[in-house]
Amino acid sequence: MRTIAFLMRNHVHRNILFYLIVNSLFILMVFFIIVQGKQLESPLTDFPDITVKSQSHLLAYEDLGMAMGRSLTSNLTHPLSLMFLQIAVIVFIARLFGLFFYKIGQPSVLGEMTAGIVLGPSVLGMCCPQLSGFLFSPASLGWLETLSNLGLVLFVFIVGLELDSELLKNKAQTALVVSHASIVVPFFLGVCLAYFMFTGFAPDGISFISFSLFMGIAMSLTAFPVLARIIQERKLTQSPLGTLALTCAAADDVTAWCLLAAVVGIIRAETIMTFVATVVMAILYILFMIYLVRPILQRLGNIYATQEPLSKGFIALLFVVLFLSAFATETIGIHALFGAFLAGVIMPSQVHFRHVLISRIEDVSLVILLPLFFAINGLKTQMGLLNAGYLWLICGLIILVAVMGKFGGSAAAARFTGQSWANSFALGALMNTRGLVELVVLSIGYELGILSPTVFTMMVLMALVTTFMTRPMLWVIERFFPNSDLKGG
């Protein structure tokens, strides 16, 4: 035993000695080469002479503490350093608000949306203007906007992945009646509202058709992801009400995104011929994706989607399809998000594979990138613009019209198709959920210059209020109709 211990100690000592000798030798040789290389410099060399003498001169004229302070300040305000700080702050605050809203029985995404407003000029900018100015200086927002756009593309891709086309085949007749009623009624009311708001609230240079169509589509949306999670949490997935709500939301999603693509095409088109060309190219592209790309992906999915672990090459191919689809629709003129949604819809149909793909993307998209989008929207949302009583009345009117159109249209259509009063009201409450999808569309309107900062702020408040209303409305309906399907299973 003593011999073994001696050999082990001897082995350790030998390694240490070898480490010291080798490193010392090579450091001395590097120093020797640098000293010899100094002689190669010309007298006009611009590089500083790094010697003890020059350093002493530097310290003679400049305080070391001040130099370090300036260096740290410069590094802190560097765009890359500031971007990491922004991401850390935004993700932390978003998760904090998301957890709080989840604890009070609301979707965590609603808390993250609220966190974005808190980080903007409405709260942080008002309470701590210097901190807000440093953390979100206009010159530093380019990185955040780029990353948030990537997060939006991934989120809309997830929405397309979560869309179950089989749902559209079951109860299709009832679903189409309810879904399209929940679109056309609020769309009509949104256009009517735009008629009265156009003169005082539309930005200069925006045509009435652009403003009215966008107000109509903004009133018509349902947040399929939030609705699906509410149904899942209440264990309504297999109930008639849950199935019908998911089917209606799926049909609503497809219709709304197609309408949005058409509206953006109209707005971006400079002439009628440009619009016609955009429509033709969009139709050809949709047909190309459905009848050519989708079968190819399905065949590949039959081979690779069931493998454990999933092939990285196959996953890479799917992301290439996603980004090329977004690129194509942006180039056509109907916005990149429609391409991302379409790419999600045509992915291989294996349910387990879609769930795995969604779980992988959500870790980055929903946790890191989407909070950046909320922060960017929060910076655009300026509650201080609503500085007069009549502006708050207009905001209240927008919320009222949104609820009447979506809740009323959905509930009336569901009752007409033979649903009970309880299920009709519950369906209306679920379809009235707007959530993040509304913010995505509003950001497009703001980007295109259709919505002024004031109207944008009002519409963001409408999205928050209508999403917040969903669970309390379901609770009230459940109390008035104790035998309803809302009890779940």
> Three-state DSSP class for 418?
coil
Query: Which residues have CB under 8 Å from 280's CB, separation 6+?
Result: none
For residue 118, what are its two tokens?
């808190």
Residue 338 lies in a domain: yes
Range of the domain at 288: 152-372+384-487
Q: How confident is the model at residue 61 (pLDDT cuts 50, 70, 90)?
A: very low
State the burial class of residue 56 (Cβ atoms within 10 Å of its Cβ: 0-12, 13-18, 19+).
Answer: exposed
- H or E segment and range at residue 322: helix 312-332
365: Cα separation from own chain's centroid: 7
Residue 309 lies in a domain: yes
Residue 106 lies in a domain: no
Q: What whole-number distance in Å separates Cα of residue 213 and Cα of residue 209?
A: 6
**pLDDT tens digits along 339-352:** 898 899 899 988 88
Q: What whole-number distance in Å separates Cα of residue 431 and Cα of residue 179?
A: 9
Residue 47 lies in a domain: no
Residues 263, 237 contacting (CB under 8 angstroms) = no
Of 448, 252, 249, give the one whose Cα is nearest residue 334.
448
**pLDDT tens digits along 128-142:** 888 888 888 887 788
CA atoms within 13 A on the CB side of 468: 15
Q: What whole-number distance in Å separates Cα of residue 240 and Cα of residue 144?
A: 43
Residue 110 lies in a domain: no
Residues 452, 460 contacting (CB under 8 angstroms) = no
Q: How many helices (H) and strands (E) does the chain have?
A: 24, 0
Residue 119 lies in a domain: no
Q: How confident is the model at residue 60 (pLDDT cuts 50, 70, 90)?
A: very low
Quickly count: other Cβ atoms within 10 Å of residue 172's Cβ.
13
Checking if the pLDDT of 320 tops 70, the result is yes
Checking if the pLDDT of 92 tops 70, the result is yes
For residue 59, what are its two tokens?
């310290």
For residue 457, what are its two tokens?
């702020």
CA atoms within 13 A on the CB side of 23: 6
How many domains are there within the chain?
A: 1
Tell me, what CATH number does 255's domain have? 1.20.1530.20
Residue 71 lies in a domain: no
Least confident segment among 342-346, 420-424, 455-459, 479-483? 479-483
Residue 23 lies in a domain: no
Q: How confident is the model at residue 360 (pLDDT cuts 50, 70, 90)?
A: confident
Of the two residues 77 and 465, the one the predictor is more confident about is 465
Q: How confident is the model at residue 6 (pLDDT cuts 50, 70, 90)?
A: low
Mean pLDDT of 437-460: 90
Phi-psi region of 54 (alpha: psi -120 to 50; beta: other; left: phi over 0): alpha
Q: What whole-number distance in Å separates Cα of residue 264 and Cα of residue 250?
A: 21
Q: Please state whether the predicted TM-score (pTM) of the whole model is above 0.85.
A: no
Q: How confident is the model at residue 212 (pLDDT cuts 50, 70, 90)?
A: very high
